[in-house]
């Protein structure tokens, strides 16, 4: 699809919604800034070259180095834009960075949803993403999901097409990322290594600042009530268990500039008014969609307190060249989760224990599953 065409998204009720272009507000790195950032990433990678792959990227010293090098040597205009976004966000709640450096030669897109090769083969993409995230906040990951990898791969997995999670390729309903988690991310970054073959997978977002104007006072009031529960993602609990967090409100904080936590696929309430308010919010958010087909070198940052995100469907070929994004999370204050992490680790311990594990260990569950 051409960037100039107006895309339409059809929801599961058959209604179509126009999608604005996230790239209108994109921050496009100048070529010399891209090369500057590539040099920063390579410098960090060289100093940490002896780190093995996987969880061994989980270390405070690496994060300190990323932040320090970015501040001292990174492109000033980019650091400024990231810091302003961190302080102020924006009406759509997303910041699209373009012309971001990635590695010249890429491994095949991982078939099982996780890249298990040497991180050094992706050193530019890996360290660029960590450098960006360390300006936005404190990097965090979750032991329940993808084994706590600091940077996770988002790629279509054969047989998982219909899943409402990162391994799927059908329409992904608008949601707050990990809204059920006590330390949910403030910022999500998605760095594209490869787009989908047909360039039709629109990454979608919608900001509460725009949607709020479409909600009457009564609806806003209902959405501030703690009457909603969110089902934990299957990527956390597997397929066999329905586990809910909450009750929580959908809107919190400033009445005129609230924070948002919602999931239009996995959120429920027993309250009929609450259901009506949730449906009104969904319509208001679908009315204000922005979207972008992520190309190689695009890095989309979602403000997870101000925007929901989703994705339109696409067809995977499982040929090693499928869509491949790399994802990482940041929280505003890592210290809030000190009791739930090992010293110097950025991986939050598991919040979920299966019913089988619970009965064996006779422990109180982190969340009820009634």
**Cβ-based burial of 70 (10 A; exposed 0-12, middle 13-18, buried ≥19):** buried
Stretch that binds Fe ion, among 74-82, 174-182, 316-324, 350-358 (CB under 5 A): 174-182
CB of 285 to Fe ion, least distance (A): 14
Instruction: Say if CB 202 and CB 7 are below 8 A apart.
Output: yes
Is residue 327 annotated as involved in ligand binding? Answer: yes
Is residue 186 annotated as involved in ligand binding? Answer: no
Stretch that binds Fe ion, among 83-91, 170-178, 238-246, 353-361 (CB under 5 A): 170-178
**Residue (177 or 303) nearer to Fe ion, CB:** 177
Backbone angles phi, psi at 172, to 5 degrees: -100, 115
**Dihedral sign for Cα atoms in the order 72, 75, 81, 85:** negative
CB of 175 to Fe ion, least distance (A): 6
Contact characters 130-169, Fe ion, x per CB under 5 A? ----------------------------------------
CB of 168 to Fe ion, least distance (A): 11
Residues numbered 64 to 93 that lie near Fe ion (CB under 5 A) are none
**Dihedral sign for Cα atoms in the order 332, 333, 334, 340:** negative
CB of 264 to Fe ion, least distance (A): 12
CB of 233 to Fe ion, least distance (A): 9
Stretch that binds Fe ion, among 20-28, 78-86, 119-127, 177-185 (CB under 5 A): 177-185
**Residue (153 or 177) nearer to Fe ion, CB:** 177
**Residue (203 or 345) nearer to Fe ion, CB:** 203
**Cβ-based burial of 64 (10 A; exposed 0-12, middle 13-18, buried ≥19):** exposed
Stretch that binds Fe ion, among 119-127, 147-155, 173-181, 247-255 (CB under 5 A): 173-181
Is residue 177 annotated as involved in ligand binding? Answer: yes
Regarding 305 and contact with Fe ion (CB under 5 A), the answer is no
Q: Which of 203, 35, 38 is nearest to 131 (CA)?
A: 38
**Residue (144 or 177) nearer to Fe ion, CB:** 177
**Residue (34 or 175) nearer to Fe ion, CB:** 175
Q: Which of 43, 348, 30, 21 is nearest to 203 (CA)?
A: 21
Whole-angstrom CA distances from 307 to 22, 140, 211, 263, 268 are: 13, 19, 10, 11, 19
**Residue (127 or 307) nearer to Fe ion, CB:** 307
DSSP code for 213: G
For residue 367, the SS3 value is: coil
Is residue 219 annotated as involved in ligand binding? Answer: yes
CB of 181 to Fe ion, least distance (A): 12
Instruction: Say if CB 196 and CB 314 are below 8 A apart.
Output: yes
Regarding 177 and contact with Fe ion (CB under 5 A), the answer is yes
Is residue 224 annotated as involved in ligand binding? Answer: no
User: How many angstroms separate the CA atoms of 94 and 80, rounded?
Assistant: 16
User: How many angstroms separate the CA atoms of 254 and 49, rounded?
Assistant: 45
Instruction: Say if CB 155 and CB 107 are below 8 A apart.
Output: no
CB of 177 to Fe ion, least distance (A): 5
Backbone angles phi, psi at 121, to 5 degrees: -70, -15
**Residue (58 or 177) nearer to Fe ion, CB:** 177
Regarding 303 and contact with Fe ion (CB under 5 A), the answer is no
Is residue 318 annotated as involved in ligand binding? Answer: no
Residues numbered 46 to 65 that lie near Fe ion (CB under 5 A) are none
Instruction: Say if CB 311 and CB 265 are below 8 A apart.
Output: no
Positions at the binding site for 2-oxoglutarate: 219, 323, 327
Give residues in contact with Fe ion (CB under 5 A).
177
């Amino acid at each position: 699809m051409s960037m100039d065409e107006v895309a339409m998204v059809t929801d599961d009720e058959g209604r179509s919604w126009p999608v604005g272009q996230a790239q209108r507000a994109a921050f496009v790195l100048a070529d010399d800034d891209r090369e500057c950032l590539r040099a920063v990433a390579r410098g960090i990678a060289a100093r940490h070259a002896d780190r093995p792959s996987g969880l061994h990227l989980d270390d405070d010293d690496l994060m300190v180095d990323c932040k320090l090098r970015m501040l001292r040597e990174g492109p000033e205009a980019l650091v400024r834009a990231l810091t302003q976004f961190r302080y102020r966000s924006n009406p759509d709640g997303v910041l699209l960075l373009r012309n971001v450096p990635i590695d010249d030669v890429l491994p095949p897109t991982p078939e099982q949803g996780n890249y298990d090769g040497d991180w050094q083969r992706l050193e530019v993409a890996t360290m660029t993403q960590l450098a960006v995230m360390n300006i936005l906040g404190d990097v965090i990951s979750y032991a329940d999901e993808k084994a706590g990898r600091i940077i996770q791969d988002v790629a279509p997995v054969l047989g998982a097409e219909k899943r409402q999670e990162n391994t799927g390729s059908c329409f992904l309903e608008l949601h707050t990322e990990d809204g059920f988690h006590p330390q949910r991310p403030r910022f999500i970054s998605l760095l594209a290594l490869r787009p989908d073959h047909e360039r039709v997978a629109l990454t979608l977002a919608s900001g509460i600042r725009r949607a709020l104007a479409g909600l009457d006072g009564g609806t806003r009031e209902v959405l501030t009530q703690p009457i909603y529960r969110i089902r934990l993602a299957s990527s956390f609990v597997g397929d066999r268990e329905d586990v809910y967090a909450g009750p929580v409100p959908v809107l919190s904080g400033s009445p005129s500039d609230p924070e948002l936590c919602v999931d239009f696929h996995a959120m429920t309430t027993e309250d009929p008014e609450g259901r009506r308010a949730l449906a009104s919010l969904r319509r208001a958010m679908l009315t204000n969609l922005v979207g972008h087909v992520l190309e190689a070198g695009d890095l989309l940052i979602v403000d997870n307190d101000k925007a929901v995100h989703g994705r339109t469907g696409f067809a995977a070929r499982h040929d090693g060249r499928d869509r491949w994004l790399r994802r990482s999370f940041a929280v505003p204050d890592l210290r809030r989760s000190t009791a739930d992490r090992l010293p110097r680790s950025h991986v939050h311990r598991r919040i979920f224990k299966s019913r089988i594990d619970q009965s064996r260990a006779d422990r109180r569950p982190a969340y009820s599953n009634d």
